[in-house]
Structure 1
């Protein structure tokens, strides 16, 4: 395993680091000021569109897609250090590069499973950054960590038309509050009585303006509404009708598509989490050398030394594990890297939460305030211990894989 950055990666890293310094970090405060003046908090600040235009001009666009026909043509190993850099400003940088969830996963689904008409209507404008999208799987009434629990129904219309009728309630549907969100990929059951519980589900494309689709409210995360990502919404599908041609892939293929979508999504989250940890360490160090308590700088306090040293060791360990996972995904595929994907999804969020928590502690009251990004970073990192499968589900699966060797 060779994790040295190749020439292409080094070139893009240098370009992206300069883009962050020149454009992204200065835009963080500007975006907040502009958002406060918008008619709706879900509208996009002008500076975000400016960032997108500049990123596209520089060729820093759709880097997450390994398919050169649609994206940057980078391997997972090449993309990993770039995603890490964007994680340092998680609410601006991924969006600026058109590499933000949930659009990334939705574009991957459409590129891999969509037909030509679906790609033309939805994938192309997503690739161009002209629209946003949402992925509707999680439901409030069931434990959605087990996707076979999904209770939304996707039924053939009974009136003889060639339509599907979708009925169900979803929540924490990321991006759905954004007025630019034009399309939902909805997971529901087309064969609820099927003998194979992993073949009961399908995915369909549901335009946001479809009659019967209601975006009811924004769901908060630790008190944050997450405007930059387009919020996390509760969405009701009340006999919403779409043509059968809106089926993604085949009937009964929803579970497999979800697994194909979530594998890359999980590693992308972990890549960005490492960038979040690096931002927290930087803030911790700057605070430590600039503040005094009990007659000496915080940087001279032994406990602060421990926090910073432990954070550095942890980040280096996590980065190597994420790079190994990316390398495996490139060489043996997502299935071959399944155990490692689970491992990073368990290890990275909880470790980064701890690092950010130490940085908050070092900042005192400032750490929980809006004057520093730490509270926001904490909320995002802590949420990833639940999103894309809670830790305990991954632990269960990984343990069973280990035990299988001895049974």
Structure 2
């Protein structure tokens, strides 16, 4: 592959980086101050809507979709470095309308949705007018094996009836979330990967019960939240089924491939921020008569962090290149490889940054605890490390089973 970014990508990298560093990062204080004010925890900070309007005006909007009818039509390889720039700030992806799980849901609706579904749900998502959630993981089964899923979608005349308990449903608490994409079992008699379907469930449908928001290391991640949501005999029209009954796994694989690349690049952006904070702290802080950067093994830690980021970035770009060149299914091993590597690299660097910050690294004076939680979550989200390693090994062993 050619390691030189296209001229178009270079232009977007420059523009997105400037927007993140000059406008979003300075706005973080106002964003979090709003959420910490009494009664504002689950509301949208006004500064977010202001930033979104600016980003849209500057053409930095819906950058993740390769279809030109929805945005600038960037390839996965061209978008990857932009996702890294967005990973520098927790709030940046939403500013550009490029945040999960909306990105995955928009991809699903753009590629598999009916014209009616696209008009009602995709269009306002693309405009940034609403948010959405994806309900897949379940509390009562090992969801690392998605075929364990117990939630059901049962046809009943012109409707389907939905039952099930889901959790870690990201965005469930956001005030602008208007619908869930629910994945559930429709026909256990079919083949293992033809038993499940996806259906659009309006948030205000009768029987949808958001039980609670789940804390991650003590934080609720407001205003997005990760909800436990119960679906109790929820009835929606059959027209809400996406692509047809039994196509849930097919859709999921198409959805998760590019999404995992987006996660990995954002994780590298987070790692870059942690490394920057670590270096700034290490050069300014003095202990035992020396800058921390010169104490013990700290030079090696800093050097290894840079090496790890560069290696992980190249692996991510390779996966993105293969997706563009050969499709998601041909790039599955590469996607799984980087899905293991990037969150682990990010977690390790953030942990080292916390250590060099001492007690300050454990406080909210720096974003490091949030970055650590983010990286640790990614080692489970979209498939745990072990599942991805198993897939990588499967592809590797196939070379010798001839």
TM-score bracket for the superposition, by shorter chain length: over 0.9
Partner of 2:397: 403
- Which residue of 2 is the match for residue 132 of structure 1? 131
Alignment-derived partner of residue 163 in structure 2: 167
State the partner residue of 1:252.
246
- Indicate the residue corresponding to 2:359 in structure 1: 365
2:111 paired residue number: 112
| Residue from 171, 186, 192 that aligns with 1:190 | 186
- Deviations along 1:279-326, whole A, 9 cap, x unmatched? 011000000111011111112214110110000000010011111111
1:262 to 256, 259, 262: 256
- The residue number in structure 1 matching 2:146 is 147
- 1:156 matched residue in structure 2: 155
Deviations for 1:111-151, whole angstroms, at most 9, x for unmatched residues? 00000000000000000000000000000001111111110
For residue 71 of structure 2, give the secondary structure of its aligned residue in structure 1.
Answer: coil
User: Which residue is equivalent to 2:2?
Assistant: 2
Q: Whole-Å Cα distance in 2 between the matches of residues 271 and 207 of structure 1?
A: 31
- Quick one: distance in 2 between partners of 1:96 and 1:322? 23
TM-score w.r.t. structure 1 length? Answer: 0.97
Counterpart check, 1:393 vs 2:387 = yes
1:202 alignment counterpart: 197
Distance across 2 between alignment mates of 1:240 and 1:195: 24
Aligned residues: 401
Structure 1 residue 87 and structure 2 residue 81: aligned?
no
Residue aligning to 1:33: 33
1-side partners of 2:22 and 2:46: how far apart?
17
SS of the counterpart of 2:328?
A: helix
Written as runs of structure 1 = structure 2, the 5 A alignment for 1:55-70 is 55-70=55-70
1:235-261 CA-to-partner distances (Å, cap 9, x unmatched) read: 000000000010000110001111111
Cα distance in structure 1, aligned partners of 2:137 and 2:241? 19
Q: CA deviation at 1:88?
A: 0.5
Unaligned segments of structure 1, at least 5 residues? none
User: 1:213 aligned to 2:213?
Assistant: no
Contact 2:63 2:96 in 1 (8 A): yes
| CA deviation after TM superposition for structure 1 residue 40, in Å | 3.7
Cα deviations by residue, 1:179-216 (Å, 9 ceiling, x for unpaired): 21001100001112x14111110000000000000111
Moved more, 342-351 or 129-138: 342-351
The whole-number CA distance in structure 2 between the counterparts of 1:6 and 1:108 is 23
1:164-185 alpha-carbon deviations (Å, 9 max, x no partner):
1101000000001112100110
Aligned equivalent of 2:317: 323
C-alpha separation in 1, matches of 2:38 and 2:149: 37
Distance apart, 1:38 and its partner CA: 5.6
Question: What SS is found at the alignment partner of 1:337?
Answer: helix
Shift of 1:36: 1.7
Picking from 269, 273, 281, the partner of 2:267 is 273
Structure 2: how far apart are the matches of 1:38 and 1:105? 33
Q: Where do 4+ consecutive residues of structure 1 move more than 2 Å?
A: 37-40
Give the equivalent residue in structure 1 for 2:347: 353
SS in structure 2 of the partner of residue 66 of structure 1: coil
C-alpha deviation, 1:39, in angstroms:
2.6
CA distance in 2, matches of 1:46, 1:252: 41
Contact in 1 for aligned 2:185/2:196 (Cα 8 Å): yes
- Structure 1 distance, partners of 2:171, 2:6, is 34
How many Å separate the matches in 1 of 2:97 and 2:344? 27
